[in-house]
Each structure stands twice: as C-alpha cells, then as structure tokens.
C-alpha cells in the first residue's frame, strides 16, 4: 500500500489495494486464532513452531487444487 501512495498509482485502476483488502473475507482459521494472525503480520520474526498435528494452512489450496 505504501508503493501505491508513494507512486500515486494503484494495482487496479478503480480501487486501491487497501480498499480491495477491505472487500475481502478473512479465512475462518484466521478468525479462530487472531493471535497467530497478528504474529504473522508482525515485523518481528516468528519462532519455529513444531507440532505433531500439522495441517495445511487455511487457503493453501483452492477448490479442486492441491495434492491428489
């Protein structure tokens, strides 16, 4: 978004990136774990997380996409 403001142009002609993001819907997993979503958006590094119950992250594959 800083680039759009800095250069005075947008990725889409009719809407800014910020407006486009506001139109989106967060994944349910992000809403269920707001602390994790906040950590992912932070400029501070995230420590390594190891878990035996690893799953694909929300949104990793679209409908009909992904491993078969």
pLDDT tens column, 6-52: 888 888 888 888 898 899 888 887 788 888 778 878 888 777 766 77
Query: In terms of pTM, does the model score above 0.85?
Result: no
Q: Cα(39)–Cα(43) distance, rounded to whole angstroms?
A: 8
């Amino acid at each position: 978004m800083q680039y759009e403001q800095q250069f005075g142009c947008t990725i889409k002609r009719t809407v800014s990136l910020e407006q486009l993001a506001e139109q989106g819907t967060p994944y349910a997993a992000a809403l269920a774990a707001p602390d994790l979503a906040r950590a992912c958006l932070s400029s501070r590094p995230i420590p390594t997380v190891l878990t035996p119950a690893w799953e694909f992250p929300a949104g990793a594959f679209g409908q009909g996409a992904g491993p078969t």
